[in-house]
A and B are shown apart, each in its own frame.
Chain A
Amino acid sequence: MAQREKLLEIKNLKQYFNEGKVNEVKAVDNVSFDIFKGEVMGLVGESGCGKSTTGRTIIRLYDATGGEVLYDGVNVHGKKSKKQLKDFNRKMQMIFQDPYASLNPRLKIADVIAEGIDIHGLAKTKQERMEQVYELLETVGLNREHANRYPHEFSGGQRQRIGIARALAVQPEFIIADEPISALDVSIQAQVVNLMKKLQKEKNLTYLFIAHDLSMVKYISDRIGVMYFGKMVELAPADELYKNPLHPYTQSLLSAIPAPDPISERTRKRKSYDPASHNYEPNEPVEFREVTPGHFVLCSEKEFKQFKVQSK
């Protein structure tokens, strides 16, 4: 575990909107975590807790207010030359949430997918470009005849697969999937998640998988981070998080998963989370601490000791 190669290091990342004004929003507040090569990192949390903002800040769609994002040891943010930016754009890609909004309705599928190929000059001739498009279409389970069609002719699941093909076109190493399945119905969700899993194995990709569907996140992720109001409250390997949730918010979140069994469902107790329950002293340092190896919790010194005892 320890000798695994770090692909991405996020250090004290901050993203504030309307900074210094009355309506300041701390969308991402001092978040730090690492993503290792070849893993799937899940990011969960309620609506508006800053998951998507974290993803978008990592890929430079927003300029970070503070902190660093190191990709292979190189800072992603800050001033960059055009060439550096292009290199970076090829390594890191994103899959978007809404398959109906993420494809330009005026472009044919071939042009949607080939956009990255054109920008980075990955095909020398027109024929080579089309060959790559056909190959990508087949990789994501579509037909090559679809290249000449327009986005509105596809279903949500098909569109999401086109979005995946577009991201894959530049042969990235790391993909941020920003709630890629939440706009799809359940039967299609499985298709898309399985496709993503398959692609990950074949192409040795690393994912940051942002979602609010806990069961789906558990299914695909190696490690899961839980966010609450712009802060990372708990980070642990997927199984560990489910078996031994330490932070009260994580416990509350897990207690919300419905079970497909009417008998256990009747007895399921929904825990609610009250941030005041911590009873932190006014100046008590609340930090992200490692309780057991690989399992981090946002807690005070006192809670830390208590969690340590609990996890033994």
Chain B
Amino acid sequence: MSNKNITISKDLFTPAHIDPANSEKIAKKSLNFWQDSWLRVRKNKGAVVSLVVLAIMLIMAFVGPMITPYDFDTQNTKHNNLPPRIQGLEDVEWLPFDGTLSRRDGTVYNAYEVRKIDAYYWFGTDNLGRDQFARIWKGTQVSLFIAFMAALIDMAIGVAYGAVSGYLGGKVDGVMQRIIEVIVGIPNLIVVVLMILVLKPGIIPIIIALTITGWTSMARVVRAQVLKFKGQEFVLAAKTLGASNSSIIFKHMIPNMFGVIIINTMFSIPNAIFFEAFLSFIGLGLQEPNASLGTLVNSGFKSMIAFPYQMIIPSLMIAIIMVCFNLVADGLRDALDPKMRD
């Protein structure tokens, strides 16, 4: 209790000087919506890793077919059904890139040496002797293209339809929503299969078939958002200032929905990839010599026991793409719309 004697006298204090001009100052750096969201995406490790993997996939989808000396559609029946073999990696025991196959009785042999072929097919060849490496990246390219196109068209139709339906409201809204319900009510697969049968298989018909039913969920989400914003005060304020309907929708509503729209699109991309693969697998997808991941799995599946690599590699590609897109979409959802968590 030695410091009990210390007295603090009044003259030790001076009033703090507060500058009223500084009281309105904001010291923090101004971040816009995207910068702010990026900060939050970066914290999600799964999303960042997936983003990098997707970027590599995307680059390889375009570069891949060019870095092998073989074309994706050139047949070389002398070189058919060769297992994967990669220079440098062929001596590594535990990697499946040594060009060996196993017979039914379990004995392992090197297909390249037995057939006296001096070549390197990184992912092997298919039953017509086409280079799988080129075909897989070409297939990834086609699958991604179909998925992106389908998602973009879904987004365009869905946003426009939902915005009109929600904004006009009343009877128009009622009719437009009933139309959506009818479309949703018909099983998706039936519509898509019938569309493909009518349109003949190909990239464009698949995109059309996917979008013809795919836009409904986006339209519903956007309509709900428009209904939410319609009564908000900043929209009313714009109305009292005399803003036109289109400027209210495009300047005030849609920018506020970007998060939801992007998330919905990101989740619909893996869906489209999956659906495309499914169509190809049941034989309604692309036709030879074109390749998509689905057709590759389909043709690999036929010789699954003898040449498992023909099916495993494209299946892995689909799995990786789907997982990555889902993780990225999940990360974006957390970042763009914190309210939607859990």
Contacts and interface: CB of A to CB of B under 8 A. Distances in A.
A binds B: yes
A268 interface: no
A146 B28 CA distance: 12
A107 B251 CA distance: 9
A122 B168 CA distance: 30
A103 B240 contact: no
Interface string A162-178: 01001000100000000
A65 interface: no
A94 B240 CA distance: 7
Interface in A38-89: 56, 59-61, 85-86, 89
Interface in B209-246: 232-234, 236-243
Contacts of A258: none
Nearest to A152: B36
B170 interface: no
B25 interface: yes
Interface residues of B, number: 24
Interface stretch (A17-25, A112-120, A237-245, A247-255): A112-120
A54 B242 CA distance: 19
Given A61-B240, A93-B240, A102 B24 contact: no
A244 B157 CA distance: 63
B200 interface: no
Contacts of A30: none
Contacts of B24: 141-143, 146, 158
B242 A120 contact: yes
B32 interface: yes
A102 B234 contact: yes
B340 interface: no
A135 B233 CA distance: 24
A150 B32 contact: yes
A207 interface: no
Interface string B30-58: 11110000000000000000000000000
Nearest to A106: B255
Contacts of B252: 104
Contact of A115 (B28, B243, B255): B243
A61 B24 CA distance: 34
B30 A149 contact: yes
B256 interface: yes
A250 to B, nearest CB: 29
Given A98-B233, A102-B236, A141-B24, 6 more contacts: A104-B251, A104-B252, A106-B33, A115-B241, A119-B241, A146-B26
Interface of A: 56, 59-61, 85-86, 89-90, 92-94, 96-98, 101-107, 115-116, 119-120, 141-143, 145-146, 148-150, 153-154, 158, 163, 166, 170
